[in-house]
């Protein structure tokens, strides 16, 4: 059935990413190719927050997480991947060329190299170097709430500027095929070896062709706790709109966290199999980008904690 393509992605980085996706999906391309090409744009943006330009872990090393899923429950991911520019493409290779769904650390890097991905130098971007030096002054591990809609990069301590170091993207193509992708440098200054929600199918991303798809950004631990993306898809299966389903998942996190909910940010995006989109965040400051033409529209998300 021919329909209209739709792309939704997290944050304002989604504006450029959606344009990349639209080049594929606009002329009738495959959703899976679109969600890969789309987030690759962000992975390449050195001034940004995802990929090798992102903030390092607390030992000063950039480690990347990503996953991808198509409309047939095929999925793949990488976690703790170092020195590879496009983790999303390695995730796709894991999906397409291995019997597995998740490769981590050294093994993921070995696989990437065996697939012809170049090993990039081990070095921080200028911005990340600065942010890391700043963070080292206190070395306090405390995730940042995404409060402001600024383009500034994360600097670590609570009260600092933005911390969106993830892009997640969902797409429905003209043939009705759904796919999703998610890629991140993870929480800034995380413990070495820490894995968040973003490479985990069912938490950071989930796609079910009979229902829709969902993806997450924000405090990964609290997304994993409720298997966020899968929960949202199941709520949509029960009849919730994408927006209602995202809201309900956020409410569940808020109930679990209690008074601590104000210290974190979590946000979800979702799309139904018919192309209806929705988003919801725990706190103010989350925005997302929707494309139904070649001009992406950046929107502020509704949020729970007023
Ligand atoms: C993580 N979910 O590693 C990611 C971080 C994130 O905007 O989304 N930041 O927990």
Q: What are phi and psi of 22, to 5 degrees?
A: -65, -30
Distance 93 CA to ligand 1 centre (A): 22
Range 278-294 average pLDDT: 96
Fill in the DSSP letter of residue 223.
H
Distances from the Cα of 73 to the Cα of 90, 113, 208, angstroms: 17, 26, 7
Q: What is the pLDDT of residue 165?
A: 82
Contacts of 11 (CB under 8 A, 6+ apart): 164, 166, 167, 217, 286, 287, 288, 289
Range 228-250 average pLDDT: 98
148 or 164, which is more confident?
164
Q: What is the pLDDT of residue 157?
A: 30
Range 284-300 average pLDDT: 96
**Model ipTM?**
0.98
Q: Which of 166, 183, 184, 217 is catalytic?
A: 166
CB 187 less than 6 A from any atom of ligand 1: yes
132 or 1, which is more confident?
132
292 or 2, which is more confident?
292
Contacts of 296 (CB under 8 A, 6+ apart): 7, 14, 15, 18, 19, 22, 289, 290
CB 220 less than 6 A from any atom of ligand 1: yes
Note the pTM of the prediction, 2 decimals: 0.94
Q: What is the pLDDT of residue 152?
A: 39
Q: What is the pLDDT of residue 127?
A: 87
Q: Above 50 in pLDDT, residue 209?
A: yes
Q: What are phi and psi of 75, to 5 degrees?
A: -155, 160
Distance 79 CA to ligand 1 centre (A): 13
Q: What percent of the chain has pLDDT over 70?
A: 91
Q: Above 90 in pLDDT, residue 160?
A: no
CB 287 less than 6 A from any atom of ligand 1: no
166 is annotated as an active-site residue? yes
Contact 108, 80 (CB under 8 A): yes
Give the tens place of pLDDT for each residue, 7-41: 999 999 999 999 999 999 999 999 999 999 999 99
Q: How confident is the model at residue 262 (pLDDT cuts 50, 70, 90)?
A: very high
Q: How confident is the model at residue 139 (pLDDT cuts 50, 70, 90)?
A: confident
């Amino acid at each position: 059935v021919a329909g209209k393509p739709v792309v939704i992605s997290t944050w304002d980085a989604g504006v450029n990413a959606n344009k990349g996706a639209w080049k594929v999906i606009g002329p009738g391309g495959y959703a899976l190719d679109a969600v890969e090409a789309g987030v690759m744009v962000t992975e390449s943006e050195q001034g940004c927050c995802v990929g090798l330009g992102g903030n390092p872990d607390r030992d000063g090393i950039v480690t990347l997480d990503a996953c991808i899923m198509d409309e047939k429950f095929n999925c793949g991911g990488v976690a703790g991947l170092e020195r590879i520019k496009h983790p999303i493409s390695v995730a796709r290779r894991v999906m397409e060329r291995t019997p597995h769904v998740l490769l981590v650390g050294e093994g993921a890097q070995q696989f990437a190299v065996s697939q012809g991905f170049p090993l990039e130098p081990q070095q921080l971007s200028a911005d990340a170097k600065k942010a890391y030096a700043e963070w080292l002054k206190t070395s306090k591990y405390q995730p940042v709430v995404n409060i402001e809609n600024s383009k500034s990069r994360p600097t670590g301590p609570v009260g600092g500027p933005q911390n969106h170091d993830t892009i997640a993207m969902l797409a429905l193509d003209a043939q009705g095929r759904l796919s999703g992708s998610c890629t991140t440098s993870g929480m800034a200054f995380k413990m070495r070896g820490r894995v968040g929600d973003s490479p985990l199918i069912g938490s950071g991303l989930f796609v079910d062709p009979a229902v829709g798809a969902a993806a997450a950004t924000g405090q990964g631990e609290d997304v994993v706790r409720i298997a966020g993306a899968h929960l949202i898809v199941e709520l949509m299966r029960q009849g919730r709109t994408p927006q209602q389903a995202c809201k309900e998942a956020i409410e569940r996190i808020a109930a679990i966290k209690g008074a601590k909910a104000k210290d974190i940010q979590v946000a979800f995006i979702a799309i139904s199999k018919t192309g209806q989109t929705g988003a919801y965040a725990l706190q103010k400051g989350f925005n997302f980008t929707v494309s139904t033409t070649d001009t992406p529209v950046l929107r502020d998300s509704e949020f729970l904690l007023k």
